Structure 1
Amino acid sequence: MPTDIELDPSSLRDFFIVHLNKIYTAKSHLISSLIILEEEAHFSDLKKGIRETIDDVQKQQKRMEQVYQRLGIEFSEESSSGMLGLIKDSFEEIRQRSGQPILRDLSMLFYLHNIESIEMASFQLLQMIAVKMKDDKIKRLVRENYEDAKAGRTLLLLITTKYLTSTSS
């Protein structure tokens, strides 16, 4: 088994860009869906959480645009069928619960947790790659997106806990 793995800086950069594009593509699709969810949410804390998530996603996209600028490239839409499929499936499940506000809200929380967890893991890996790229500004921007995703996940856990304790069994 090899003990040292050598990554070509150009290949690493390309990998970083492709996956940054995938996240950006998914976030672009997510925003329009979140706006609809915000209107449909029954629980007021969930509405506020979705609004905060929309604001965070927009901030994350701005940071990502700064990364693109720093790399001297423009965003290029990438196939992110896995994440987009999760978003599509999530919103289909939520629509199926349209007549059941409590289960609809719980479905929203369930899928928002899943999406936030994937984003957090993605930014964490990009953050590790950014360290190898030796650009402090890119490292900082990606780290801030990771921290936002982590905080968003914590917020969703708090909202879910409050939601489940406030609904009668």
Structure 2
Amino acid sequence: MLPPEINVNRDDIEKFFIGHLNKIYAAKTLLRTELPELMDNVHFSDLREAINDTVEDVKKQISRMDEIYQIMAAEISDAGCNGMKGLVEDSFHDIKIHGENPELRDMSILFYLHNIESIEMASFQILEMAAVKLRNDRIKRLIKKNYEQARADRTLFLLISAKYIATV
């Protein structure tokens, strides 16, 4: 027996795509604000440099998403984006709990940034698959570039975590 054929019309794919792009966009704009403030509290120089690089990556990712919104003639909305924004907000709140202990604070930063990048990477990957149904090569390339950047950032935080924990 063959699995049932799945048919989703283009309008529904576009709604799905924009709705989930909004969630990532909300998280990225919050990171753009929060990450620079975090750098002043980072103890480990490699982590500070990685956060600085990530801030630049986030700006590029937001710019690409802005272009996608323009291509699709869609408006950015943060309605229903509390989950992703909440994760980022909770992360930065938890990092501040360890404000007096630089080693634990750095470990918390690494833990949360790795997790945030993992979720964003997975989200971009799903949107990349959905973009195939949109039949727009530019959108596919922009999402793919964001996915690759999120993956590289996640890998960087993982490598720094291994180096940092080995030295603690």
Q: Secondary structure at the match of 1:78?
A: coil
Q: Deviations over 1:19-55 (max 9, x none)?
A: 1111111111121111111111100000001111111
CA distance in 2 between partners of 1:76 and 1:70 (Å) = 16
For residue 60 of structure 1, report the CA deviation from its aligned partner.
0.2
Which runs of 5 or more residues in structure 2 are unaligned? none
Aligned residue number for residue 54 of structure 2? 53
Aligned residue number for residue 105 of structure 1? 106
Q: Deviations over 1:66-121 (max 9, x none)?
A: 11111122322232111122112211111110110000000000000110011001
Aligned residue number for residue 41 of structure 1? 42
Aligned residue number for residue 83 of structure 1? 84
Amino acid at match of 1:164: I
CA distance in 2 between partners of 1:154 and 1:2 (Å) = 36
Q: Secondary structure at the match of 1:40?
A: coil
CA distance in 2 between partners of 1:58 and 1:150 (Å) = 16
Amino acid at match of 2:65: M
CA distance in 2 between partners of 1:79 and 1:40 (Å) = 31
Q: In the comparison of the two structures, how many residue pairs are matched? A: 167
For residue 2 of structure 1, report the CA deviation from its aligned partner.
4.9
Amino acid at match of 2:142: L
Q: Deviations over 1:104-152 (max 9, x none)?
A: 0000000001100110010000000001111000000000000000000
CA distance in 2 between partners of 1:158 and 1:165 (Å) = 11
Contact 2:110 2:161 in 1 (8 A): yes
Contact 1:67 1:141 in 2 (8 A): yes
Q: Which runs of 4+ in 1 moved over 3 A?
A: none
Q: Is 2:69 the counterpart of 1:68?
A: yes
Which runs of 5 or more residues in structure 1 are unaligned? none
TM-score after normalising by structure 1 = 0.95
For residue 10 of structure 1, report the CA deviation from its aligned partner.
0.5
Aligned residue number for residue 27 of structure 1? 28
Contact 1:42 1:101 in 2 (8 A): yes
Q: Secondary structure at the match of 1:74?
A: coil
